[in-house]
């Protein structure tokens, strides 16, 4: 049977190669995902390993609220420790140095006068200390005065600056003229982070104005182990004025690495979902390929049975061919996946996000990729192989051998049952969208509907294609031929279109989600924002504090209301919180009050809680909450319940209460709403605002429409990645159509020869096959889009609490996708049509 399998591969090399390509594309995604995750993990763990070289670290002993941010080396935000502890630590025997880790957000102005930024990587400043093992002055000298900086090597290249150049930095909301005096090497790629070093005194004044820092790095004398160092400094740490603890450098680095890997685990899961979709779509091609292959070789398989081959041997020969497809496809897929990672690394490097230079090739990636590719191929071929194994030997004695086609009623009933169950689950989710299990019901219902439609697709295909092909049927003689070919075998047509159906369902759903998100955002801004202009920060979304002060000083500005975002602990659980001035309510923003008084709650130091959070946490109006921040602890009563997607956080408090919980450097002023004075000209005010924030480089002035467009662009950037990933499934689907048409040409060789013999021209034959392909693509695209749009349209009801409240269907985009289906069909038919047209008439007629 091994020889039979190998001969089958050689005899049908085209089919084998197309199936291999389908598997390779899916496996490439799997291998690339694991390799990319490993590369990202290696990059960030290298950053941790090369920048946190302390032998021990002193940090807060209690968890506390705060934004954390890119300058934190630990995922958990803790209470700060006093800088005054440094002197006590350095007095301990065995301590070589104690370095307060003064660091925070900073904006560097590049040679072109704009902020130095790379993708979404952070930008921050460090205190330079010559005793720090992580830093190395590779050119120039270290900064010594407030008007001097040293820049990390990759940041220096990205900025276009050189040693001796004058530029500016924005630190603590203040624009400072500085001179670049040194270049610092950190020993690893920083994934695009912008890193600037200040002299120690300036950094502490900017990033630790209250005399506290997140951690203190402690370096040991030679010969002293990390644990011995921790043991020696423990008494000093225990006597500190604030709760503190000492941990070894290894334990802190391990903690930071685990945090990074957990974040990357989410990214890997996201990418693997699309890899699974690609493999699922590829499985359709393999199953369709082997189904047609079994149908074409029925007589040959019957002869094998007649000469003594058992059903198990026939089954094994087909499964063995499928395994060969999987193994070869997986090998090519691994190579392709690693190649994609290399390309992606270069692309990211070109936009400033430098990753580690190593392209990881590990046994786990290889094993998973080969196993996945082989299993998908074998499972996809199992059912056709079973049918082949059951071919009666007597069939070999007949002139024409065909496998009996089963009735479609079973598939129709099964598909209809699944659709009914899925719709029932969807209706249950829509009737009670606030239930805890509503999203689960929605997902299960959507899955059942998709599977039901796939099961019933042969029945749908026959009716759909008969209706759609009415105009085509008038184009004689090619129209009736194409119509008959696609409706004669609805199973084959449905299986061919199934891959495209899945891809288009996902694309259609993504298009609706994008349009709905943008429409919902626009509606929220129109409903809740009552401001004239909005200030937004480009660097980590932060508007410098001094920029706000300058704007408030303008004569044409009635008010500039800030929205400060941070995180606090509520009964030990972190919650995002926004702090605003109570007078901003009604002036800059309005919101729906579900219970209590929003303004009254903010005025009296109480908390306003989103309705969904109240339900999730089972809180009640008037309940007391204990709020804990890094510098304070307060007990506050729930004074209002609101329903406001504009805030986008569970808790809203007055700015005075937030300041009591957290220092300013742990709050991010993400948005500033500017209200014009009564007699101010709008255009003149905008010019004044633009001039006022220009020195801060990173602040943009927008009206409401521009603000909505800016938010929509952020959604679009995410969806570009989504569409690119979904595009892979469309490519595989096109291969499926090509594969099926090519096999159909082989299966109908004699029929094609007879048509040519009675006068059908080559162009007419090619047109017939192209029409078949277009009709098949239209069926898959139409059903897929209807499915995707219908299922995505349920999202605003179930996910209204997260802001999806206004359903929008992009009809123009959907129409473009239908037009794309025609193009897909024509492209997919090109090679099979040319191959059919070149078949010699006499050879085709004499084919058995």
Nearest to 709 by CA among 542, 536, 559, 586: 536
- The mean pLDDT of 463-485, rounded to a whole number, is 82
Q: How far apart are CA 351 and CA 515, in angstroms?
A: 28
**Structure confidence at residue 73 (pLDDT):** 35
The pLDDT of residue 11: 59
Q: Which pLDDT band, with edges at 50, 70 and 90, does 192 fall under?
A: low
Confirm if 733 and 281 have CB atoms less than 8 A apart: yes
Residues with Cβ within 8 Å of residue 600, at least 6 apart in sequence: 606, 639, 640
Q: What is the pLDDT of residues 800-844, one digit of tens each?
A: 766 677 888 888 888 888 888 888 888 878 877 887 777 777 666
Note the pLDDT of residue 195: 85
What is the structure's pLDDT at 364? 76
Average pLDDT, integer, range 394-419: 69
Interatomic CA distance for residues 375 and 377, integer angstroms = 5
What pLDDT score does 728 carry?
A: 64
DSSP state of 63: B
% pLDDT > 90, the chain:
8
- Indicate whether 428 pLDDT > 80: yes
Within 10 angstroms of residue 722's Cβ, the number of other Cβ atoms is 16
- Give the residue ranges of DSSP H helices in 167-297: 200-207, 226-238, 249-296
Q: Convert 264-297 into a string of H (helix), E (strand) and C (coil).
A: HHHHHHHHHHHHHHHHHHHHHHHHHHHHHHHHHC
202-256 residue pLDDT tens: 888 888 887 888 889 999 888 889 999 999 999 988 888 888 898 998 888 888 8
How far apart CA 417 and CA 375 sit, in angstroms, is 29
Residue 706 has, within 13 A of its CA and on its CB side, a CA count of: 11
Query: Mean pLDDT over all residues of the chain?
Result: 80
Amino acid 769: pLDDT: 84
By the 8 A CB rule, do 289 and 321 touch? no
| Cα(171)–Cα(165) distance, integer angstroms | 18
d(CA 156, CA 165): 11
| Contact (CB, 8 A) for 777 and 822 | yes
3-state secondary structure 16-62: HHHHHHHHHHHHHHHHHHHHHHHHHHHHHHHHHHHHCCCCEEEEECC
Q: Which residues contact 606 (CB under 8 A, 6 or more apart)?
A: 600, 636, 637, 638, 639, 640, 653
Phi, psi angle pair for 60, to nearest 5°: -65, 145
Per-residue b or e along 133-168, where b marks 16 or more CB atoms closer than 10 Å to that residue's CB: bbbebeebebbeebebbbbbbbbbebbebeeebebb
**Calpha distance 550→554 (Å, rounded):** 7
pLDDT at 242 (0 to 100): 82
pLDDT: is 463 or 276 the higher one? 463
Higher per-residue confidence, 615 vs 48: 615
pLDDT at 398 over 60: no
pLDDT (tens digit, 9 = 90+) per residue, 81-109?
A: 888 888 889 888 988 888 888 888 888 88
Q: pLDDT, tens digit, for every residue of 680-736?
A: 788 888 898 999 888 887 788 888 777 777 777 766 666 666 676 667 667 766 776
pLDDT score of 573 more than 60: yes
Between these two residues, 738 and 543, which has the higher pLDDT value? 543
Q: What does the pLDDT read at residue 9? A: 60
**8-state DSSP, 679:** T
pLDDT score of 120: 55
**349-353, 420-424, 715-719, 781-785: least confident range:** 349-353
Q: pLDDT grade, residue 497 (50/70/90)? A: confident
DSSP state of 607: E
Nearest to 670 by CA among 577, 555, 582: 577
pLDDT at position 607 over 90: yes
Quick one: pLDDT at residue 148? 92
pLDDT tens-digit map of 29-75 = 777 777 777 777 777 777 777 777 788 999 888 776 554 443 333 44
- CA–CA separation, 518 and 714 (whole Å): 10
pLDDT confidence of residue 332: 86
Give the relative orientation of helices 762-792 and 704-747 as an angle to the nearest 10 degrees.
140
- What's residue 420's pLDDT? 93
DSSP of 298-327, one letter per residue?
HHHHHHHHHTT--HHHHHHHHHHHHHHHHH
CB 502 within 8 A of CB 280: yes
pLDDT at position 743: 67
d(CA 759, CA 785): 39
pLDDT given for residue 150 in this prediction: 92
Q: What is the pLDDT of residue 165?
A: 92
pLDDT at 777 over 80: yes
For residues 1 and 580, which has the higher predicted lDDT (pLDDT)?
580
Residue 745's region, left for phi above 0, alpha for psi from -120 to 50, else beta, is: alpha
pLDDT reported for residue 563: 87
User: Can you give the pLDDT at residue 845?
Assistant: 62
**Which of 479, 405, 421, 429 lies closest to 453 in space, CA to CA?**
421
DSSP 402-429: -PPPPPSHHHHHHHHHHHHHHHHHHHHH
Report which DSSP code applies to 529: B
> What pLDDT does residue 848 have?
53
Q: Which of 491-495, 531-535, 756-760 has the highest mean pLDDT?
A: 531-535
């Amino acid at each position: 049977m091994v020889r039979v399998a190998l001969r089958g591969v050689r005899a049908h090399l085209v089919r084998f190669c197309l199936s291999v390509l389908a598997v390779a594309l899916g496996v490439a995604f799997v291998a690339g995902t694991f390799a990319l995750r490993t590369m990202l993990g290696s990059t960030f763990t290298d950053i941790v390993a090369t920048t946190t070289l302390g032998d021990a670290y002193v940090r807060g002993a209690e968890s506390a609220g705060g934004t954390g941010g890119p300058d934190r080396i630990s995922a958990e935000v803790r209470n700060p420790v006093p800088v005054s502890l440094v002197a006590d630590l350095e007095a301990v025997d065995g301590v070589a140095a104690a370095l307060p880790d003064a660091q925070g957000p900073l904006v560097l102005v590049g040679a072109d006068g704009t902020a130095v930024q790379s993708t979404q990587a952070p930008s921050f400043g460090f205190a330079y200390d010559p005793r720090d093992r992580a830093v190395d002055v590779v050119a120039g000298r270290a900064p010594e005065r407030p008007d001097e900086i040293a820049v990390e090597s990759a940041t220096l290249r990205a900025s276009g600056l050189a040693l001796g150049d004058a530029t500016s930095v924005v630190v603590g909301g203040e624009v400072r003229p500085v001179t670049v005096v040194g270049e610092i090497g950190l020993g690893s790629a920083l994934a695009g982070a912008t890193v600037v070093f200040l002299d120690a005194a300036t950094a502490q004044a900017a990033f630790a104005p209250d005399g506290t820092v997140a951690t203190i790095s402690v370096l040991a004398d030679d010969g002293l182990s990390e644990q011995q160092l921790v043991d020696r400094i423990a008494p000093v740490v225990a006597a500190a004025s604030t709760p503190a603890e000492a941990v070894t450098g290894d334990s802190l680095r391990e903690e930071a690495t685990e945090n990074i890997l957990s974040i990357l685990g989410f990214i890997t899961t996201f990418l693997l979902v699309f890899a699974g979709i690609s493999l699922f779509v590829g499985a359709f091609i393999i199953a369709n390929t082997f189904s047609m292959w079994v149908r074409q070789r029925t007589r040959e398989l019957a002869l094998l049975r007649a000469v003594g081959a058992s059903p198990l041997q026939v089954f094994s020969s087909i499964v063995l061919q499928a395994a060969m497809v999987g193994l070869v496809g997986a090998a090519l897929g691994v190579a392709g996946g690693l190649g994609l990672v290399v390309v992606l690394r270069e692309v990211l490097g070109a936009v400033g996000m430098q990753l580690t230079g190593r392209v990881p090739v590990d046994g786990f990636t290889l094993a998973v990729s080969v196993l996945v590719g082989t299993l998908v191929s074998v499972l996809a071929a199992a059912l056709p192989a079973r049918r082949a194994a059951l071919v009666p030997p007597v069939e070999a004695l007949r002139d024409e051998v065909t496998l009996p086609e089963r009735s479609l009623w079973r598939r129709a009933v099964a598909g209809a049952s699944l659709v009914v169950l899925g719709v029932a689950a969807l209706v249950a989710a829509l009737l009670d969208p606030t239930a805890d299990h509503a999203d689960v019901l929605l997902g299960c219902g959507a899955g059942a509907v998709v599977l039901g439609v796939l099961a019933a697709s042969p029945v749908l295909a026959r009716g759909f294609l008969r209706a759609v092909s009415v105009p085509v049927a008038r184009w004689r003689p090619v129209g009736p031929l194409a119509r008959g070919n696609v409706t004669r075998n609805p199973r084959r047509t449905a299986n061919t279109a199934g891959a495209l159906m899945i891809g288009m369902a996902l694309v259609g759903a993504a298009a609706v989600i994008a349009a709905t998100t943008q429409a919902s955002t626009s509606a929220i801004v129109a409903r809740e924002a009552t401001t004239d202009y909005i200030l937004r920060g480009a660097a980590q979304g932060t508007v410098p504090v001094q920029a706000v002060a300058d704007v408030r000083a303008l004569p044409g500005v009635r008010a500039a209301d800030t929205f400060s975002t941070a995180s606090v602990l509520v009964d030990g659980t972190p919650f995002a919180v926004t702090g605003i001035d109570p007078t901003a309510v009604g002036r800059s923003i309005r919101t729906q009050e579900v219970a209590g008084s929003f303004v009254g709650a903010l005025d009296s130091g109480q908390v306003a809680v989103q309705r969904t959070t109240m339900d999730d946490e089972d809180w009640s109006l008037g309940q007391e909450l204990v709020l804990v921040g890094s510098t304070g602890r307060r007990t506050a009563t729930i004074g209002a319940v609101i329903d406001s997607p504009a805030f986008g956080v569970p808790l809203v408090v007055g700015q005075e209460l937030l300041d009591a919980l957290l220092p300013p450097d742990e709050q991010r002023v993400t948005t500033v709403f500017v209200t014009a004075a009564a007699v101010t000209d709008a255009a003149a005010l905008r010019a004044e605002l633009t001039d006022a924030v220009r020195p801060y480089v990173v602040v943009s002035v927008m009206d409401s429409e521009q603000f909505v467009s800016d938010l929509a662009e952020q959604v679009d950037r995410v969806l570009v990645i989504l569409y690119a990933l979904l595009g892979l499934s469309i490519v595989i689907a096109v291969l499926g159509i090509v594969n099926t048409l090519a096999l159909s040409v082989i299966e109908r060789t004699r029929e094609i020869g007879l048509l040519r013999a009675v006068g059908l021209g080559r162009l007419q034959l090619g047109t017939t096959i192209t029409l078949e392909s277009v009709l098949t693509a239209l069926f898959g695209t139409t059903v897929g889009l209807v499915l995707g749009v219908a299922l995505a349209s349920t999202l605003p009801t179930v996910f209204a609490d997260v802001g999806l409240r206004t359903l929008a269907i992009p009809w123009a985009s959907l129409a473009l996708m239908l037009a794309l289906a025609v193009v897909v069909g024509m492209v997919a038919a090109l090679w099979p049509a040319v191959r059919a047209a070149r078949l010699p008439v006499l050879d085709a007629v004499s084919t058995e």
